[in-house]
Structure formats: structure tokens, C-alpha cells
Amino acid sequence: MKKMKVTVGTESGPERLDSFISSECGLTRSSVQKLVKDGAVLVNSKPEKPGCRVRPGDIIDITIPDEPAGALIPENIPLDIVFEDEHIIVVNKPPGMVIYPAAGNSGGTLMNALVFKCGRLASAGAPLRPGVVHRLDKETSGLIIVAKTDEAYFNLIEQFKNKEVEKYYMALVYGTPKNRSGEFSAEIGRSSSDRKKMSTKTRKGKEALTLYEVVSAFKAASLVKVRIITGRTHQIRVHFSSSGHPVLGDKTYGTKTTLKFAAKTLRFDRQMLHSYSLKFRHPVTNEFLELTAPLPEDMEKAVEELKE
């Protein structure tokens, strides 16, 4: 059992209790709601409902039960490990791999592989995603950090919250942006027409900032280097789609799964998005780490064909 105490900072406005804890502690909103309903969350020493509004100065006590035994089944799945020590592990995730088990994906996930490889991860985090401090979509490839210890977990959560982690992506997008470098700053929130999707056209959007630079412009597409300053759900995909340059292969926010030329047709079986670089301070040693992962084979092949 782990106990946490969080004080709502002066920079926070009135916000739902479940949303605040989810953002502050890296827990899923559903798991926070269960903790609140089970009486494991106190606001100023009193139980509250998940939807109550927290304000600057509020003190929140959270009791997180121990991880259930056998929650994750270890699986011997090969991993491309970019960095590892006793505190953290950084993996170059292949496209098509889910981060943690959920409905429809009970096994074969990154967490199943990491439990087999590491034996023990941080106890902090939801039962099926211990040590996870950020996420990548199933179809997005590239670098992801997982904490092995609670000390590393909470330090990394703080670094992500304070925007101290630099996250860079490579994306193949349809067409070429008018400005070869620039930024997208439209707020992002849940779509009012489809709750499973995010949108820039929302009444309750949150700050979202995406910086980009065109690396190579081809006839019908561009290879773009992207840095996200904030970490909203599907941020890169939503921002580029709203600009008229959806990520190639993105079936949710775009329709460009093929590009037709006179002599051939290029098909994109997944969204062409890759987390290629992370820059951050080691959560224990404070050493500055700059890690990279090369473009995966399918994106490399697509770039070569676009060059032709």
C-alpha cells in the first residue's frame, strides 16, 4: 500500500478531482474514480466525489493499494532496448504493439514483455501499467520510458508535468505545409460528435503546442520533424489533420492511407508517426540523457519510394 499527499498549486484553477489526480500522478481517470469511490482519496481530510472541484491550497491524500498478484503475465517478447539501468528502461517500441493490457489486448503488450525482462517495475501507476510515465498509440513506433522504481517514477512524472522532457517525432504527412517551419497552438479536447476522438473544435479544449519543421518535401507528402511541448491525446495527429496535412495512414483523423502516382500506388498500413528522440534528466543521477531511435523499416521504405 502506498500513500501520497498532493497540494494543489496556485497555477491550477478549479478542476475536477479525478482529472487533477490523473494528471498529477499519472493514473488513469477510471482508476482514480474507483479510488475516490472506495474512500481512498481525501480532500482536506474529507471524502469527496470524483467530480468535486479542487482549488489552490487544497491538500489531497491518496492511498493506493498494492498491485494485485499476477495482474500482469510475463511474456518472453523480444525488445529493442535503447537504455537500461536499475532505475529506468527505455524501449524502441515497434508499431502495432500496445503499451498495456486492456479490452481486446490481454497479452502481447509492452508491459507483459517488460515484466518478463525486468522482473519488477515501479509499484506506482495503475496495476496493468506500473511505471508508465507517458504513452504511445498502438500504431506509433519509437521511444518510451518506463520506471523501475517509485523514486524514478515520481521524478519523471514531475519532469513531464513541468515540460522538462523534450519529445521529438518524425511524421510523414500529406502534402507540404505552407510554412516550412512553424507551430500549431489550437486547443485540443474531446470531439462533441465522437467521444472517442479528439478535436481542435471543442468548447472545453486544453492548451496544446506543437512545433514542426519540414525535413524533406516530396511530390505529395513531406517528412516532418515534430516537437510536442504539451502532451495531449493524439496531439500531433489532430493538429496536422486540422491544418489539412493529416499523418499518412491515420484512419481516425485522415483518409490518406494510399498515394497514387502514374506508375504505382503507395499504401500505408499504419499511421506514419515515430517517436525518434527523447531528452531528459535521469531521475536519480540527474545525468542529461539524449536518446534516439532510427526510423522503422516501413517509414524508411516509404521515404525512399517518395524520393523516387
- Catalytic residue numbers read 137
**Angle CA 209–214–217, to nearest 5:** 145
- Spatial CA neighbour of 225 closest among 173, 280, 186: 173
The CA-atom distances, in angstroms, between 83 and each of 90, 147, 255, 277 are 5, 12, 36, 12
The CA-atom distances, in angstroms, between 222 and each of 30, 200, 228, 240, 305 are 38, 22, 18, 12, 12
Distance CA 247, CA 206 (A): 22
76 three-class SS: coil
User: Rounded to a whole number, what is the largest CA-CA distance in the chain?
Assistant: 70
DSSP letter at 286 equals -
